[in-house]
């Protein structure tokens, strides 16, 4: 079903997603604010590498899911890619994480930082896949 080209596109989009995360949570962007929220919640363990591995795996899974949606809808044009990414983000990421956030001590601003990152990542990944194919 999927060949080397498709797998390569998913891997590349996943790596781009990881780079977006690295920039988004850097001190130059939202990193200082986000880390301050983490500290206020008592979460300061920066030696644990499992979250980084989760980000990498999650980005590959997200890129693969976006590719499947693009294949199923046969939309590899820019407007189609952006639309698919936004609908996937809104329906499956933003909505569910917003609900979860209401039952946690996390401030809404922290959710907004995370949700914004996920929206940008989904859009850029979908654009990468649209250009790739």
Residue 47 pLDDT exceeds 80: no
Q: What confidence score (pLDDT) does residue 81 get?
A: 98
pLDDT of residue 73: 97
Per residue in 10-40, pLDDT (tens digit) is 999 999 999 999 999 999 999 999 989 888 8
Percent over 90 (pLDDT), the chain: 82
Do residues 60 and 12 lie in contact, with contact meaning Cβ atoms separated by under 8 Å?
no
Measured CA to CA, the distance from residue 60 to residue 68 in angstroms comes to 12
CA 55 – CA 97 distance, rounded (Å): 16
Which pLDDT score is estimated for 45? 66
Pick the more confident residue, 82 or 46. 82
Mean pLDDT of 72-86: 97
How many Å apart are CA 11 and CA 4, to the nearest integer?
10
**pLDDT value at residue 29:** 97
Place of tokens 């609908």: 87
pLDDT at residue 46 tops 80:
no
Question: Residue 106: how many CB atoms within 10 A of its CB?
Answer: 18
The 3 state secondary structure assigned to 5-54 is HHHHHHHHHHHHHHHHHHHHCCCCCCHHHHHHHHHHCCCCCCCCCHHHHH
């Amino acid at each position: 079903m999927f060949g080397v080209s498709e797998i390569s596109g998913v891997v590349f989009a996943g790596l781009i997603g990881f780079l977006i995360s690295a920039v988004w949570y850097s001190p130059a962007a939202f990193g200082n604010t986000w880390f301050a929220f983490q500290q206020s919640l008592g979460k300061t363990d920066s030696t644990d590498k499992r979250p980084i591995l989760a980000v990498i795996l999650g980005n590959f899974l997200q890129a693969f899911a976006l590719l499947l949606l693009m294949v199923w809808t046969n939309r590899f044009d820019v407007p189609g890619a952006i639309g698919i990414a936004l609908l996937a983000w809104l329906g499956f990421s933003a909505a569910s994480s917003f609900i979860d956030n209401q039952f946690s001590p996390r401030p809404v601003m922290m959710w907004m930082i995370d949700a914004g990152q996920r929206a940008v990542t989904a859009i850029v990944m979908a654009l990468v896949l649209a250009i790739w194919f």
